[in-house]
């Protein structure tokens, strides 16, 4: 491959954000073409004008092809005209990229301005931020038009010189980028359109990209675990894991897999079974190395009994966070590493919570029990209303009917408890079990809810009210239901009730831009002052379908109680290295 072509490809890679691996594959594909060129049978001498033009359109025609042929002056003139038009098209793309960069700056400034203004503030205080948003919108429209002109100019070039390689190369690069963005957005229609256009203009450079195969390499601790592989397929609008193949035992080295979403099941004697989701992106290898580390991390299988009944182990690893434009206050798409943890399969129930309150009463902490008991809201913000549990003769608590409402059931998620009450329950359970139970960080919650592949719901990308408990799920009056009522509302790890029934309090101080991160690693949740807003995740029986998306975020006052907000707990889990696997 000549240096001029290499420079041109490097420039396209920088413009379209190709990964180093993608650029390397393009270079290798072209080098293979160069190596294969001498073995190709030579075409007969061109006889017609079109064939003669074609013989002069290559960057560097071979000596065999050009021997004894005098290029047609008209073909040379057309080629020069086409190359001039290419230069003009390149300028349009540069302009589009500059406009998008300016638009991003304007949106960032707008966000900063509006973040300092209270939602109820008058419009004149919001006007500077709105002006920035309007300017960003104008710049993005200008960028769209510049890109449209770029594509039209390249198509016009192909009308000047049919099948000009430089024009096809640019169009293929443009549509490859569009295709990648559409797949990131999980926009199947846009992805199909971009793929069709890419195939039209690709001349073999993107063959590996279009095949989409990726690779999986991983080890386990202990080594030698049996691996069963399941692939997710779309069935009745849900992603369903179906047996794919049995790779054997760990370690797995460079297992080639079609792009897509998978779940590995790892088994070893004396160890808990581990569910390990994997997402093979187009032409990529599944990442297993933690941020800042030099060596890959093995998948740790906890000793049998480490994960108790009603608990789910979420192994350490990467997952796709955010990236859902329809999720309220959602975060940008980003790969993040989350250390391993155990999460409760279901939210805390009334039965669980009454056991907590009864224990406080039994230990002489009546005031604390009344403080943390579910209560009505008072007439003033933050004021406490009446306790919503009844009392037994022995001083304990019980469920009672509230007017004409359906009576609460022991296996409903506990609600009408504040963030502080959830924290008190976590401290109580940690002391009782000698395990470090706490509220989840909101990004721990998100990984437990969606797995690793960026799906918008625990089961896929389409919502139906019969699959989770939403406002429109009930025939009569909406209400909470038992925690096992909607089996479809389950994540790839098996965590239940994350899209509906009751939302979950999270530990974090709520930041609209997202929680603080340690690079690409999700750290412990930020403590913060006791009265700042706290993150809430998940849909509920009061919500419509828009709010059951796993990237949906909301910040709530921690002292408030809500009829549709519950909680569940997590505990960190530290792998015990019993072999040299992790040190290899």
3-state secondary structure 53-106: HHHCCCCCCCHHHHCCCCCCHHHHHHHHHHHHHHHHHHHHHHHHHHHHHHHHHH
**539-565: pLDDT as tens digits:** 999 999 989 999 999 999 999 999 999
The CA distance from 198 to 272, in Å, is 46
Residues 243/320, Cβ–Cβ less than 8 Å = no
The encoded tokens of residue 326 equal 């329809």
Instruction: Give pairs for 307-311: CB < 8 Å, separation 24+.
Output: 307/272, 307/342, 310/344, 310/345, 310/346, 311/342, 311/343, 311/344, 311/345
Tokens coding 376: 């009505």
271 DSSP 8-state letter: B
- Residue pointed to by tokens 């229609």: 189
Nearest to 197 by CA among 176, 166, 181, 217: 176
Q: What is Dmax (Cα atoms) for the chain?
A: 109
- CB-CB contact of 26 with 9 (8 Å): yes
pLDDT per residue of the chain (584 residues) written in tens, 0 to 9: 556 556 655 665 555 444 455 556 556 555 554 444 333 333 333 333 333 333 333 344 455 445 555 667 877 788 888 888 899 999 999 999 999 999 999 999 998 898 888 878 999 999 999 999 999 999 999 999 999 999 999 999 998 888 899 999 999 999 999 999 999 888 889 999 999 999 999 999 999 899 989 999 999 999 999 999 999 999 999 999 999 988 899 999 999 999 999 999 999 999 999 999 999 999 899 999 999 999 999 999 999 999 999 999 999 999 999 999 999 999 999 999 999 999 999 999 999 999 999 999 999 999 999 999 999 986 555 567 899 999 999 999 999 988 777 789 999 999 999 999 999 999 999 999 999 999 999 999 999 999 999 999 999 999 999 999 999 998 888 999 999 999 999 999 999 999 999 999 999 999 999 999 999 999 999 989 999 999 999 999 999 998 999 999 999 999 999 999 999 999 999 887 544 444 33
């Amino acid at each position: 491959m000549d240096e001029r072509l290499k420079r041109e490809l490097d420039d396209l890679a920088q413009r379209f954000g190709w990964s180093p691996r993608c650029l390397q594959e393009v270079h290798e594909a072209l080098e293979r073409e160069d190596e294969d060129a001498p073995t190709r049978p030579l075409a007969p001498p061109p006889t017609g004008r079109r064939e003669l033009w074609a013989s002069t359109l290559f960057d560097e025609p071979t000596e065999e092809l050009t021997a004894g042929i005098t290029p047609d002056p008209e073909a040379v003139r057309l080629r020069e005209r086409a190359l001039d038009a290419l230069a003009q098209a390149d300028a349009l793309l540069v302009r589009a990229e500059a406009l998008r960069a300016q638009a991003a700056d304007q949106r960032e400034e707008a966000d900063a301005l509006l973040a300092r203004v209270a939602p109820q503030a008058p419009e004149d205080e919001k006007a500077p931020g709105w002006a920035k948003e309007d300017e960003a919108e104008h710049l993005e429209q200008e960028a769209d038009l510049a890109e449209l002109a770029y594509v039209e100019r390249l198509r016009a070039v192909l009308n000047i010189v049919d099948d000009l390689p430089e024009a096809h190369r640019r169009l293929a690069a443009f549509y490859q980028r569009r295709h990648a963005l559409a797949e990131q957005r999980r926009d199947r229609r846009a992805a199909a359109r971009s793929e069709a256009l890419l195939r039209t203009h690709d001349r073999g450079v993107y063959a590996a990209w279009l095949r989409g195969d990726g690779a999986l390499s991983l080890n386990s601790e202990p080594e030698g675990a049996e691996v069963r592989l399941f692939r997710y397929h779309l069935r009745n609008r849900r992603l369903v894991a179906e047996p794919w193949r049995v790779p054997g035992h760990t370690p797995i080295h460079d297992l080639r897999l079609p792009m897509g979403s998978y779940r590995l099941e790892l088994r070893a004697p004396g160890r808990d079974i581990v569910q390990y989701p994997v997402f093979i992106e187009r032409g990529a290898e599944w990442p297993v190395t933690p941020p800042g580390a030099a060596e890959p991390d093995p998948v740790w299988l906890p000793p049998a009994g480490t994960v108790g009944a009603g608990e789910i182990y979420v192994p350490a690893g990467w997952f796709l966070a955010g990236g859902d434009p329809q999720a309220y206050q959602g975060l940008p798409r980003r790969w993040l590493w989350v250390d391993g943890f155990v999460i409760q399969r279901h939210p805390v129930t009334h039965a669980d919570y009454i056991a907590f309150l009864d224990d406080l009463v039994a230990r002489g902490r009546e005031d604390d029990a009344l403080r943390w008991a579910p209560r009505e809201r008072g007439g003033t913000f933050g004021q406490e209303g009446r306790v919503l549990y009844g009392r037994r003769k022995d001083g304990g608590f019980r469920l009672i009917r509230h007017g004409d409402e359906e009576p609460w059931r022991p296996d409903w998620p506990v609600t009408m408890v504040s963030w502080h009450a959830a924290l008190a329950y976590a401290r109580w359970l940690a002391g009782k079990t000698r395990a470090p139970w706490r509220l989840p960080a909101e990004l721990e919650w998100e990984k437990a809810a969606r797995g690793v592949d960026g799906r918008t719901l625990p089961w896929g990308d389409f919502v139906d009210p019969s699959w989770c408990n939403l406002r429109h799920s009930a025939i009569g009056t909406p209400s909470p239901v038992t925690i096992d009522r909607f089996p479809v509302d389950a994540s790839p790890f098996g965590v239940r009730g994350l899209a509906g029934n009751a939302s979950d309090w999270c530990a974090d101080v709520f930041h609209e831009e997202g929680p603080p991160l340690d690079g690409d690693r999700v750290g412990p949740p930020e403590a913060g002052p006791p009265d700042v807003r706290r993150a809430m995740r998940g849909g509920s029986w009061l919500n419509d379908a828009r709010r059951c998306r796993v990237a949906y975020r909301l910040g709530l006052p921690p002292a408030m109680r809500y009829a549709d907000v519950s909680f569940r707990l997590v505990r960190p889990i530290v792998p015990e290295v019993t072999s040299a696997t992790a040190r290899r």
